[in-house]
Structure 1
Amino acid sequence: MRRIPASLRALVPAWRDARRYAVPPRMVLEATTRREAGDAIGACDAAQMDLLVDADAVRRARGAEVAAQLADDLRHLAPDLLRWHLPWESGGSHTALGPRMTITLARYGDDALYLTTPAITDARRRPRLRFGPAARFSRTHSWDAHRHLWDARAAGELFARAGGVDRLPFHAPDGRLLAPDELPGDRPDDPVALIEWTTVLLDAGRAAEAWAACGITLEIGPGSTVPGGAADPVLPLLRAALDRLHLPVVPDGARAAAPADVSEAGGDPQRAVTLVPTEGTSWYYRDPMLVARVDDGYTARVLGRGDTPAQAPELPAPAWRRAPDLELLRLGRLKPDQLHPLVRRALFPALDTGYRPAPTGLTDEIRVRCHAGWHRAGWRDGRVRLRDHAPEEARREQAMRALGAPTPRCFTVEEAWRHGPSARLPRRLRILRTQMISAALHGDADTLTAMLDAGVDAACRLGDGRTLLHLLAHLDRPALLPRLLAAGLHLETRDDQGRTPLFAAIRYGASTAVVRVLLDAGARTDVTDRTGATLLHALTSPHAATILPWLRDAGLSLETRDAQGRTPLFSLAGYPTAAPEAVRALLEAGADVRAGDLVGRIRSSRRADELDFVIEAVS
């Protein structure tokens, strides 16, 4: 296993965990089976996506030809492959989809088949596919020229798209990973070797030298921080993509100092393109770049936080960025037989192995360092049990601990699993807890159920205090509630934000079935979080029209104000996570539209288009 370069340390763990937890083998198998049977909706559902395309409406609005093209693309859409390639990033202590993104997959004149990701990292990892004018969230990207990321027919193109010719970069022709001393020396002529050499230079922090090797002068603007974005590209692929654009030369050899300077030089923003990293931009600043053509090649400037690259069009990231799978392979974080089957067949067509995902942390026995030796622990009846300590010894140690005496590590394992930081757990238990929580976050109810069946303790928590009950919205499996309650979890446990499982379910868009089962189990409705918000303030669900009457029947008021004096309607109108259906449900229930500057809040949140019915009601 090789050391992760500094420029990739924030990305590699997210790439690895997404492939391990967000696209489990069962999902790939079920989505593939349904796709091959012609069931596009079922395939998307299996891959934790919502396909919200009305074929009849498309035919009426755009005609039979466009409807037929769209239907053909949906037949070959591999949603599990799309999920595999989506931009994943750290959502705190766990991997999440890049928030508020729109990715166009195919265009049909003015309309597109496009995907949108949730507005916040804590939401359900369940993107939506739609047809129409692509909604412009704050992060919009075009994949319509990169079908290998989502179309089963084009999946085999990944080899060439990753820079492969007679072999894959960093691999021998037989698929073997090259050792560091087998990589090329300075300025190789071979195109694959050039990718390897420039990538090694970027990893070593020699960015200017690497860019210059491909005929691009790298400039760091005065407002820039650490130029993380400068280490993102596969430079020979970027140079080839730039050459295909045939950008006009900036007059007088002017450098791409800023978008305004490009316009002043020629009055045409098409003289430059921007490079915007798709991962990491929501929480870890990775600088966008502006690239223009000059007499002696190209010039690229890392833009500072005060620069705005919006004038120049964006060069889609799949045309130039590092391929996560190739990076994971060369760094030893992934093996070829752990790749998605379509990806493996594209990158290693001669590799005759099945799909063998990374092994789970589930085991019957865990070894714990205790005093000077190793002791055994295991699972029984949903609790950690010590196998090398008698029950009376455990009781004695508990009494000694109450008196302030140091406690052997064996006797701290269960508490660390349930309440303590993961650093206090043995390595295997850290992996197991990560797998359990990740399965819940990514909606993998089958894996979670299998772990519970094996006796694993369900009482672990996320770093923010959420329990598995708080993640029922993500799991969307109402039948799990009695199982988790029987395991000792409580309906009124609060996370660090003061939210109960019912509050979390409503805030994160749980299905009506999940909300109903929590209410029927006796979950309290008179709860508020640390901001004073009620359940109505948190009602972001597109199913709000069904859920709202239940909460009103429980006695909740439409005009209750939180600690900042906001009513539920005023709050939801400005929430990026709130579905328009939720705002409409409050409006139709009689919520007061005069409780604050509602129109101003909607416009400042850039939601005027989707909440135009509220603006109309106010006026």
Structure 2
Amino acid sequence: MITLLRGDLAQWRRIRTRMPTPQAVAAAADARAAGDWRTAAALADTDVDLDLDDVRHRFGTEAAAAIDEDLHHLALDLLLWHLPRHHGGMTTLRARTSAVLAPRAVDHGTPLLRVRLPLSPTGPQRLLLTVATLADLNWMRNRWYVAPRQTWDVRETAALRAAWGCSADRPPLLAPDGTPLPWSALGTGDDAAAATERVYLMLAAGDYAAAWRACGIELPFTDTKALQRGSGPPTCPVGLADEIRAVAATFTERPRFPAERVDTLFGAHLNVSVGDELVAAESDPHDYNEGPPTVASGPVPADLALLHAGLMTPGDLHPLLRAALFPTLPPALPGAGVPSVREPVPESAVGEPGAPVRVRCRGEWHLVGVRDGALRLHGHDADELRREQALRVMGGASAGCFAVRDTWLTGAGRLPKALAAQRTRVRERMLDGDTDWLLDGLARGVVDPLMRDGSGWSLRHMAMWVDHPRLLPLLDAAGLPVDARDRIGRTPLYVALMNGGDIALIRALVAAGADPYAQTVHGASAIEEATYRSSRGDRALLNQLWDDHRAAAGR
């Protein structure tokens, strides 16, 4: 029944297993306690582009002191739990979006802490912490929303109980010890959690308008039409009215909530009443924010739904989130909780790299597997391999083990499920930024440096996710071309530019001979993408790329 409120629990379970490790969370807490907020940020995979002396020079001593105070209480490892994710089953963060950390008060010249999410859902999954003003945010033309303080300020995490409609001792859907309540028991009682559960039941029944009115939000219609498009779970209005009032008071202007939550039947704009406040909603989810701040809103919190479905326990939560939701439970031990991103599930469950896999070939079962750094066909001798190569030269089609090898090296075709799981394993560990794991697998010969994923991406395409200075020399030694093409002709240089790869990787690829004019099957090229990024503010990139290309060509 919980899937009536959240039909994406499988995606969110995968997201939760890929959060920072318990050790990283504990280390970040220790760093904050010691006043070292930069180390705490680094442990949450966040780059910092922020100079307090510059803030003091531009905005004054008082503004710099306020920023410094918030930085010392900023838990980016907790904010990660609340950041929006890409739709469609992916575990990556929503692209081209920024979270503005809710300030105490603001005008158009007030410096704001801004956490910028990745440029692309398939790009490096690192955050960027900067300072911006409202004028900067409007000029940058990126989506942004106001992140409530309970989602990032360690002094105010207990406020999450009210924001999520919890009682003093338990959250909705759950008993005080985290035990899921049966569906038939929801909404009974007069405590805050029971009142929230009644709203949940209205949402599950499709009575959206009544649910919103129960939360103090008046709508300009009387029937029970959906308040969002059919592809997403119902928006939960619990706590939304209070958040709207808080944002309106802080920014001294009328806020709005995300466009994708509103049915297009209501036209370009929909005004709803929250007490004496009006809230605007845009009907185009791809609109950029220009002026009015967007209020954080969404479906029933994924963590509550996961706990109710038995897919998580309170011990799996971030310690600060656990303390907020379950105040009567004993405090979590240091380093406890938070499923490890490095070992989300046993290796055998998703494919241990190098493990032999059975393949049906010529009416028999053969074994294939990565050994000594390459996919080996254990059921075929050297003469058979030479005959197969001659067949391919004459235009023949491969089958059995040889078809599997072709797919492994190109990405085109189907792999046995276990081998596909090994390929996914490598890709996900790289996306997590786990360079040590990857280099260990390459050193042991259980990761093939010439493998491709289903899109035809090579390890060079994926180098933007890891510590590329350590990886690229190994790929060079393995003979992987610098302009290796994926299935639609994209080179590693093009992919890095498209997905927000850092300038050091881009320069390394160009220095190695990457062609910025190489075109995809659609006629796009790296030089065009660099020009586009230059027009969006990264003005030094195009000149740097061009200078590096000329220098490499002159050698």
Of the three residues 435, 438, 445, the one matched with 1:445 is 435
Match of 1:111 in 2: 111
SS of the residue aligned with 2:239? Answer: helix
Q: SS at the partner of 2:469?
A: coil
Name the CA distance, whole Å, in 2 between partners of 1:458 and 1:170. 47
Find out whether 1:99 has 2:95 as its counterpart. Answer: yes
Q: Secondary structure of the residue that 1:195 maps to in structure 2?
A: helix
What whole-Å deviation, never above 9, does each CA across 1:452-480 have from its counterpart, x for those lacking one?
45623454544443222112233242110
CA apart distance, 1:57:
1.7
Contact 1:275 1:290 in 2 (8 A): no
Alpha-carbon shift at residue 73 of structure 1 (Å):
1.4
Kept after mapping to 1: 8 A contact 2:423/2:453:
no
Q: Find the aligned partners of 1:485 and 1:30 in 2 and give their Cα distance.
A: 36
Deviation per CA, 1:541-572, whole angstroms, max 9, x where unpaired? 7562544321233459xxxxxxxxxxxxxxxx
Query: How far is 1:88 from its partner?
Result: 1.2
Alignment-derived partner of residue 468 in structure 2:
477
| Structure 2 CA distance for aligned equivalents of residues 382 and 75 of structure 1 | 46
Instruction: State yes or no: 1:140 paired with 2:119.
Output: no
- Residue 38 of structure 2 aligns to a residue whose secondary structure is helix
Match of 2:174 in 1: 171
Deviations 1:340-386 (A, max 9, x none): 33333433452656234332535375776979999987653344568
The one-letter amino acid of 2:67's match is L
Q: Residue 461 of structure 2: SS of its match in structure 1?
A: helix
| Post-superposition offset of 1:78 | 2.0
Q: 1:194-205 residue pairs with structure 2 within 5 A? A: 194-205=195-206
Distance 1:514 1:200, change over 3 A: same
Distance 2:504 2:96 in 1: 26
1:494: how far off?
Answer: 1.0
- Tell me how far apart the structure 2 counterparts of residues 129 and 291 of structure 1 sit (CA, whole Å): 33
1:292 aligns with 2:291: no
CA distance, structure 2, for counterparts of residue 423 and residue 341 of structure 1: 42
Distance 1:374 1:183 in 2: 53
1:126 counterpart residue number? 126
Structure 1 letter corresponding to 2:229: V
CA distance in 1, matches of 2:290, 2:517: 50
1:316 aligns with 2:295: yes
Counterpart mapping for 1:151-166 below 5 A: 151-165=153-167, 166=169
Query: For the residues of structure 2 that align with 1:93 and 1:394, how far apart are their CA atoms?
Result: 45
Instruction: Please name the residue that 1:4 is paired with.
Output: 3
| C-alpha separation in 2, matches of 1:369 and 1:159 | 53
3-state DSSP of counterpart to 1:113? strand
What are the within-5 Å matches in structure 2 for residues 523-542 of structure 1? 523-524=514-515, 527-539=518-530, 540=533, 542=538
Residue 133 of structure 1, CA deviation? 1.0
In 2, Cα distance between the equivalents of 1:70 and 1:532?
A: 46
Distance (Å, rounded) in 2 between the aligned partners of 1:94 and 1:505:
19
Give the CA deviation at 1:213. Answer: 5.1
- Return the alpha-carbon distance in structure 1 between the equivalents of residues 125 and 402 of structure 2: 36
- Asked whether the 8 Å contact 1:217–1:299 carries over to 2, the reply is no
Structure 1 pair 420/40, CA: closer, same or farther in 2 (3 Å)? same
Whole-angstrom CA distance in 2 between matches of 1:53 and 1:80? 18
Q: Is the 8 A contact 2:76 2:152 kept in 1?
A: yes
The alpha carbon displacement at 1:55 in A equals 1.0
Structure 1 residue runs of 5 or longer lacking an equivalent are 248-268, 557-619
Query: What is the alpha-carbon distance in structure 1 between the residues aligned to residue 384 and residue 307 of structure 2?
Result: 48
C-alpha contact (below 8 Å) 1:366/1:378 kept by paired residues: yes
Between stretches 54-63 and 238-247, larger displacement belongs to: 238-247
TM-score, normalization: structure 1?
A: 0.67
Partner of 1:21: helix, strand, or coil? coil
User: Which of residues 295, 300, 307 is equivalent to 1:329?
Assistant: 307
- Corresponding position: 1:78 with 2:80: no
**Counterpart AA for 1:336:** P
1:71 shift after superposition: 1.4
TM-score by length of 2: 0.73
2:186 corresponds to which residue? 183
Unaligned runs of 5+ in 2: none
Mark the CA change 1:66 to 1:303 in structure 2 (over 3 Å): closer, same or farther.
closer
- Work out the CA distance in 1 between the residues paired with 2:89 and 2:407: 17
CA shift for structure 1 position 192: 0.9
Cα shift readout 1:294-322 (whole Å, capped 9, x = no counterpart): 8xx9999987559999999666225x753
- 2:546 aligns to what? 548
1:67 counterpart letter in structure 2: A
Partner of 2:258: 276
Q: How many residues align?
A: 512
Deviation track 1:11-38 (CA, whole Å, cap 9, x = no partner) reads 5455444433364556545544544443
**Cα offset, 1:448, TM superposition:** 3.4
SS at match of 2:150: helix
CA distances 1:135-173 after superposition (whole Å, capped 9, x unpaired): 123422112xx2221223333443443222121222111
Q: Matched residue of 2:48: which SS?
A: strand
Matching residue's letter, 1:437 = R
Return the alpha-carbon distance in structure 2 between the equivalents of residues 485 and 239 of structure 1: 56
Trace 1:33-112 onto structure 2 (pairs within 5 A).
34-90=31-87, 94-107=90-103, 109=106, 110-112=110-112
Distance in 2, Cα, partners of 1:42 & 1:33: 10
Quickly say closer, same or farther: Cα 1:148–1:492, change in 2 above 3 A.
same
Secondary structure of 1:97's aligned partner: coil
Given the alignment of the two structures, is residue 363 of structure 1 paired with residue 345 of structure 2, yes or no? no
- Greater relative contact order (Cα < 8 A, sep 6+): 2
Q: Specify which of 316, 320, 324 is matched with residue 342 of structure 1.
A: 320
8 Å CA contact 1:469–1:491 kept in 2: the answer is yes
Distance 1:550 1:161, change over 3 A: same
Which shows bigger deviation, 22-31 or 477-486? Answer: 22-31
1:434 aligns with 2:424: yes
Q: Distance in 2 between matches of 1:374 and 1:194?
A: 60
Distance (Å, rounded) in 2 between the aligned partners of 1:152 and 1:306: 31
Tell me if the contact between 1:384 and 1:457 (Cα under 8 Å) persists in the aligned partners: yes
Superposed CA RMSD = 4.9
SS of 1:317's equivalent in the other structure is: coil
Question: Matched residues in 2 for 1:310 and 1:512: separation?
Answer: 28
CA contact (8 A) 1:15 1:324 kept: yes
Instruction: Sort the Cα spacing of 1:490 and 1:334 in 2 relative to 1 into closer, same or farther, 3 A.
Output: farther
Structure 1 residue 498 and structure 2 residue 485: aligned?
A: no
Q: Quote how far apart the aligned CAs of 1:114 are.
A: 1.7
Q: Deviations over 1:232-262 (max 9, x none)?
A: 11x4434565788999xxxxxxxxxxxxxxx
d(CA) in 1 for partners of 2:42, 2:271: 39
Q: Is the 8 A contact 1:58 1:67 kept in 2?
A: yes
Q: SS of the counterpart of 1:504?
A: helix
CA contact (8 A) 1:379 1:456 kept: yes
**One-letter amino acid of the counterpart of residue 434, structure 1:** T
Q: Distance in 2 between the 1:497 and 1:306 partners?
A: 28
Q: Give the match's secondary structure for 2:17.
A: helix
Counting aligned pairs with the same residue, the percent is 30
- The alpha-carbon distance between structure 1 residues 290 and 447, as it changes in their structure 2 partners (threshold 3 A), is farther
Distance 1:514 1:102, change over 3 A: closer
Q: Report the CA distance between 1:422 and its aligned residue.
A: 9.3
Question: 1:203-222, aligned counterparts within 5 Å?
Answer: 203-211=204-212, 214=215, 219=221
1:502–1:205 CA distance, 2 compared to 1 (3 A):
same
In 1, distance between residues paired with 2:399 and 2:453?
Answer: 26
> In structure 2, how many angstroms separate the alpha carbons of the residues matched to 1:36 and 1:338?
23
SS across alignment from 2:273: strand
